[in-house]
Structure 1
């Protein structure tokens, strides 16, 4: 791949992006049924939900400001009710089935299903601000610029060749290259030998990179004041609509959450058949003034998404807003 230039910033503030009509937008808010689901437990996440993942047994894992929740298809359980720090940004199930929780200001928690282990700077973690957690292909757990090999943390800095000391985001692509997002105007790739800071064709870094994924074809998608695609040689701005979170579903459609104007956030779907056209077709599934954040497609094809006040599930027809009874 010939790298030009990405910067990734994952900070807890709101950004908005103006939609300039680049895409053909379908608004389906009038045809989608919305319902509030009463649950059998008072443990429903009703605070800001930053990330949503699915465990191998099918349970939905939800990282929120008031705890990490597990949804088994019937009810919610707060897995962290006994942990003093309630604010979590991310959750990961590792290859052994253990859970890792990234907190806003209290480091990382490891949970083996029975007991917790707490990692902070006292244990070698680079920072107690843990906004993203990631397991690479060799089983290492990354928390920002800290890599945990099962025994100890190694913290990477500019002394190791990193373009930045403040890593916020990480993706390992199919070829084994590591894509890092840092606080400030830096996003860079490590191919095992060389770090390459990515910049657009105009030589400028990408601002406000909140998310990055690799699709089935090997293209890199990221949000940076709009939705971008990188094919290994060329950057294409797909949409002006904000992309706080991005996923590719089983059909090849791209889903995003993000700001669409100065007062609204939206869940949007980009049609797979038009992704490479000059004006991709985008369908706005839901729009609201409150933030829309992390996204997940579960094994049944439902789309889960977090907001500033809880969690939703979209089954293709109905949006379910989970609330306390």
Structure 2
């Protein structure tokens, strides 16, 4: 089936065009404490692109134009009042307890609990539009940006771009698998990096995968990702087939012909995705669960947990519940009930 592929317009951000390919030592640019954090019983009621788990069971929520929030089970604390209103996109607490915050217009911030350190292209970051943060097995922090992938070892940045072999500088997601290979989902082709060479991966028919927003590795070592295959191109219009894919190390399986913008495996081995019902992205979006007992069946059992008329984003399993970001805040599913944490008196 061929169709005009427009759902990605709902996911796109405006990337800056400045690039930095070389390794650069960083300068110290700190924002001291001063402004008091605000606390609320309600979530930000704006777009939540990513939800991550922090220390002590806290939930970290990145909400564009609202801030980055910490939820302790009772209330939401805005951690970014000291920074101000920016286009926040991702958040990560590293193994040392630092909280990393990405923006799509102002680089990244590291929060040590008392002050913020700000990193931009002036400090060596590849690009100031940062939509993904990842910590590898040795504690290095990676950033997926609009100008390449940035690797930060605590002292300096090392950047990877098309000059080093990336198929596209617009990075959506990064994953280190069990063998140590790094997988990159980009705005065009996707690839993996073995420490020396970037290899673009293709389906069983030799076609490349495009527009990969999420990549995970399951407990069996399979790589799961949502991607599209270009069927036809007429001028600037692409006709594509989207799907949820699984790679077992030698071949690719199209699990279902359904858009998957975010993917997660839970502790029981079920696969969760978010994505639109319609391939063009118009209409309802769903949070879906693929039952682990039937993942390898021709037609896996799929349960729709949540369906909304607007965009759903990143997924997290934490504290016995599933969390999902949306265009209007965050939802929590405890296995029976979906909670939206909305203040019904607030205006979106």
Q: Structures share a fold, TM > 0.5?
A: yes
| Partner deviation per Cα, 1:199-234 (whole Å, 9 max, x = no partner) | 112221112311110000000000112211110111
Q: In the TM superposition, what is the alpha-carbon distance from 1:159 to its structure 2 partner?
A: 3.0
Q: Quick one: distance in 1 between partners of 2:213 and 2:172?
A: 9
Q: Quick one: distance in 1 between partners of 2:152 and 2:8?
A: 23
Equivalent residue, structure 1, for 2:263: 246
Q: Quick one: distance in 1 between partners of 2:82 and 2:56?
A: 24
Provide TM-score, normalisation by structure 2: 0.80
Unaligned residue ranges in structure 1 (runs of 5+): 1-9, 16-39
Unaligned residue ranges in structure 2 (runs of 5+): 1-6, 13-38, 228-241
What secondary structure does 1:89 align onto?
strand
Equivalent residue, structure 2, for 1:52: 51
Q: Within 5 A, what are the aligned runs for 1:12-91?
A: 13-14=10-11, 41=40, 44-65=43-64, 66-91=66-91
| Partner deviation per Cα, 1:120-158 (whole Å, 9 max, x = no partner) | 111111110000011111211111211111111111223
Aligned mate of 2:212, from 209, 214, 217: 209
Q: Quick one: distance in 2 between partners of 1:178 and 1:49?
A: 26
Q: Which moved more, 1:201-210 or 1:74-83?
A: 201-210
Q: Within 5 A, what are the aligned runs for 1:112-261?
A: 112-144=112-144, 145-184=149-188, 186-224=189-227, 225-261=242-278
Q: In the TM superposition, what is the alpha-carbon distance from 1:283 to its structure 2 partner?
A: 0.4
Aligned mate of 1:288, from 298, 308, 311: 308
Q: Quick one: distance in 1 between partners of 2:326 and 2:312?
A: 4
Q: In the TM superposition, what is the alpha-carbon distance from 1:162 to its structure 2 partner?
A: 3.1
Q: Quick one: distance in 2 between partners of 1:165 and 1:64?
A: 24
1:142–1:292 Cα change, 3 Å: same
CA contact (8 A) 1:43 1:78 kept: no
CA contact (8 A) 1:257 1:293 kept: yes
Q: In the TM superposition, what is the alpha-carbon distance from 1:43 to its structure 2 partner?
A: 5.8
CA contact (8 A) 1:49 1:63 kept: yes
CA contact (8 A) 1:85 1:103 kept: no
Q: In the TM superposition, what is the alpha-carbon distance from 1:164 to its structure 2 partner?
A: 3.3
Q: Quick one: distance in 1 between partners of 2:211 and 2:164?
A: 25
What secondary structure does 1:322 align onto?
coil
Aligned length, in residue pairs: 290
CA contact (8 A) 1:244 1:256 kept: yes
CA contact (8 A) 2:121 2:128 kept: yes
CA contact (8 A) 1:245 1:258 kept: yes
Q: In the TM superposition, what is the alpha-carbon distance from 1:117 to its structure 2 partner?
A: 0.7
Q: Quick one: distance in 1 between partners of 2:257 and 2:167?
A: 28
CA contact (8 A) 2:42 2:342 kept: no
Q: In the TM superposition, what is the alpha-carbon distance from 1:241 to its structure 2 partner?
A: 2.3
C-alpha RMSD of matched pairs (Å): 1.8
CA contact (8 A) 2:141 2:151 kept: yes
Q: In the TM superposition, what is the alpha-carbon distance from 1:198 to its structure 2 partner?
A: 0.5
| Partner deviation per Cα, 1:246-291 (whole Å, 9 max, x = no partner) | 1101111001110112411000000000000000010011111110
What secondary structure does 1:122 align onto?
helix
Q: In the TM superposition, what is the alpha-carbon distance from 1:11 to its structure 2 partner?
A: 6.6
CA contact (8 A) 2:86 2:106 kept: no
1:125–1:14 Cα change, 3 Å: closer
Q: Quick one: distance in 2 between partners of 1:318 and 1:241?
A: 25
Q: Quick one: distance in 1 between partners of 2:139 and 2:317?
A: 23
CA contact (8 A) 2:50 2:90 kept: yes
